[in-house]
Amino acid sequence: MPECRFAPWNDPNEKPLIQFKNVTKRFGTFTAIDDQSFDIYAQEFFALLGPSGCGKTTMMRMLAGFETPTEGTILLGGRDIAPIPPNKREVNMMFQSYALFPHLSVRDNIAFGLKRDKLPADKIAARVDEMLKLTRLEKFAGRKPHQISGGQRQRVALARSLAKGPKLLLLDEPLGALDAKLRQDTQFELMDIQEKTGTTFVIVTHDQEEAMTVASRVAVMDDGRIVQIATPDEIYEAPISAYVADFIGDVTLFSGTAMNRTPGAKPAAADASETEAEPAPQEAETPETETVETPEAVAEIGVPADPEAPVASDDPAPAEPKAAKATPAQGPQPNKLGLWLHDKVWARVFGPRTDIVRQLPPPSDAERTAKREEPETVPAETNDIPEGGITIDWAEGQPPLIALDAPDLEDGTQVKLALRPEKVGISKTRPDAVNALKGKVIDIAYLGNLSTYHVELENGTMIKAQLANTRRISRRDITWEDEVWVSWTGTAGVVLTS
């Protein structure tokens, strides 16, 4: 991925092309943009992403010159652009409706801006030809906009806005009018053209998939504010708030109270007395003299793994590669070569391993689960969970969730755990995972390559799990109303404090 190397925003010496400095825009009493400051760098493909009415279009129209900021300044190449009218700005815009002039041919549409600059005719013709070639429109040069298809119109609009060679190209929902298949192709075409011309692109869109595909950085907006600016993978993997997590992709959110895990998991009883000195959690907290009998007590203590519980000791291979690396091999494990091959080769081709699905459950597991009642609520956890992280108390009668990479938090902080469905495994038998919860399949959304299972936990919470459909339908054994286990690793969820 070229974005990996192209990261001017990390370079303190890089001068941004565009700087928003405390920009506020009000329409009457309505605040469309609320005191925003951020930078866009040259050659970036910058996406403004948000639901309709979040102010993203206003942001773009201020760059184009159709709106002026109520407060604050916008600098383009270090110069305040407020006094420059739109027709004098080195900024061009591709409109959502394309705004192709219906009375002019494709060629004249593309030449329109060049003619305004009073360039000599041969230069204009040469530039128009260049643009026609870039957008593969040579055959349609003589047609009127209504004589070409939607995809071709989109390319005319792009060619027209690029013809003047602007410093900055603004794209307002450029692909909104195209159907799904064409949109995907066009996204790549757009990236290709952006790379070829080296123009800075700012795209406004409400389609998160589009933003993630094309952009080098995405700014997620909500209600006149930018919530997070980051690269697509950061936005997805490390959203800074529940809003961002929820807006980008599918997510299950658990709200609860965070507790720091004490180093070295100990028997629950011992643990309870040790943590006693820590800031007291909620009122439901049982006195230290009471011990493991109630599941609540186990839950509150935070590291509930009981070494005596049979579940932990003889369960084989843990679910996820990351956890696997940290755990001593128990049962069949990839050797070093296998791990290397996976990381360097297979992961690129097939994506990260989702071993949970393919793994054969230990034969005795089903019987064991069936036999026991109480231990079911005990989170399935091996003795070998790495230290650190937090536990999250999130519901009465449910085991606390464990999150290994969590920010430093005080005990008792209200947090949300955001969990992507593709990171959640689902199995009929109890898996050996850091977090495992029991529930019932309510709904299955079949998406072709993937299936999303909606699982209702015993306390009514819905959780989504996604599996790649590597087998034919008839071979899949999980179906509606099945009792299943959903599980995920200690690092799969993202802990959010806002």
Partner 1 sequence: MRRLSWFNTTSLTLGFAFLYLPMVILVIYSFNASQLVTVWAGFSTRWYGELLQNEAFLDAAWVTLQVAVVSSTIATVLGTMAAYVLVRAGRFWGRTLFSGMIYAPLVMPEVITGLSLLLLFIGIGLDRGVLTIILAHTTFSMCFVSVVVSSRLISFDRSLEEAALDLGCSPFQAFRLVTLPIIAPAVISGWLLAFTLSLDDLVIASFTAGPSATTLPIKIWSSIRLGVSPEINALSTILIAIVAVGVIGASLISKRQLLRQDADEKAAVRAEA
**Binding site residues, partner 1, CB under 8 A:** 64-66, 85-89, 91-93, 95-97, 99, 101-103, 112-113, 116-117, 143-144, 146-152, 160-161, 164
Using the minimum distance from each CB to partner 1, give the nearer residue, 168 or 415.
Answer: 168
Q: Which is nearer to partner 1, 93 or 434 (CB)?
A: 93
Long-range contacts of 20-24 (CB under 8 A, 24+ apart): 20/59, 20/72, 20/74, 21/72, 21/73, 21/74, 21/75, 22/71, 22/72, 22/73, 23/62, 23/69, 23/71, 23/72, 23/73, 23/74, 24/69, 24/70, 24/71, 24/72
Contacts 24+ apart (CB under 8 A), 3-7: 3/216, 3/231, 3/232, 6/43, 6/216, 7/231
The minimum distance between CB 102 and partner 1, in angstroms, equals 6
Minimum distance, C-beta of residue 496 to partner 1, in the bound complex (Å): 38
* Closer to partner 1 by Cβ: residue 65 or 304: 65
- Residue 164, classed as helix, strand or coil, is coil
> Tokens 């011992």 correspond to what residue?
270
Report the nearest approach of partner 1 to the CB of residue 48 (Å): 18
Q: How far is the CB of 162 from partner 1 (least distance, A)?
A: 11
User: Toward partner 1, which CB reaches closer, 88 or 133?
Assistant: 88
Q: What does 424-452 look like in DSSP terms, one character per residue?
A: -EEESS----SEEEEEEEEEEEE-SSEEE
Three-class DSSP category at 495? strand
What is the nearest approach in angstroms of partner 1 to the Cβ of residue 86?
Answer: 5
Torsion-angle region of 178 (φ positive above 0: left; ψ -120 to 50: alpha; else: beta): beta
Q: In the complex with partner 1, which residue's Cβ is closer, 33 or 93?
A: 93
SS in 3 state form for 268-306?
A: HHHHHHHHHHCCCCCCCCCCCCCCCCCHHHHHHHCCCCC
Q: Which is nearer to partner 1, 52 or 474 (CB)?
A: 52
Report, in Å, the least distance between residue 104 CB and partner 1.
8
Q: How many CB atoms lie within 10 A of CB 360?
A: 9
In angstroms, give the least distance from the CB of 108 to partner 1. Answer: 10
Q: Give Cβ neighbours of residue 424 (< 8 Å, ≥ 6 apart).
A: 252, 463, 464, 465, 466, 486, 487, 488, 492
Closer to partner 1 at the Cβ: 139 or 471? Answer: 139
Both tokens assigned to 179: 């159907």
CB-based contacts of 251, cutoff 8 Å, min separation 6: 245, 418, 419, 420, 421
Question: How does DSSP assign 371-387, residue by residue?
Answer: H-SGGGGSPP--TTPPS
Nearer to partner 1, 28 or 287 (CB): 28
At its nearest, how many Å lie between partner 1 and the CB of residue 39?
23
| In the complex, least distance from residue 343 CB atom to partner 1, rounded to whole angstroms | 43
Least Cβ distance, residue 1 to partner 1 (angstroms)? 31
- How far apart are the C-alpha atoms of 287 and 489, rounded to whole Å? 31
What is the β-pairing status of strands 200-205 and 435-446?
unpaired
Instruction: Decide whether 150 or 310 has the Cβ nearer to partner 1.
Output: 150
Angle at 441 between CA 402 and CA 396, to 5 degrees: 40
The length of the chain in residues reads: 498
Alpha-carbon span 39 to 232, nearest angstrom: 17
Minimum distance from residue 95 beta carbon to partner 1 (Å): 4
φ and ψ at residue 195, rounded to 5 degrees: -70, -40
What stretch of H or E contains 310?
Answer: helix 310-313
**Residue with smaller CB distance to partner 1, 161 or 194:** 161
Phi-psi category of residue 351: left, alpha or beta, with phi > 0 → left and psi -120 to 50 → alpha: left
Q: With respect to partner 1, which residue has the nearer C-beta, 172 or 315?
A: 172
Nearer to partner 1, 94 or 424 (CB): 94
d(CA 117, CA 132): 19
Question: At its nearest, how many Å lie between partner 1 and the CB of residue 88?
Answer: 8
Q: Which of 306, 270, 304 is nearest to 288 (CA)?
A: 270
Least gap, CB of 453 to partner 1 (angstroms): 37
The nearer residue to partner 1, 173 or 222, going by C-beta atoms, is 173
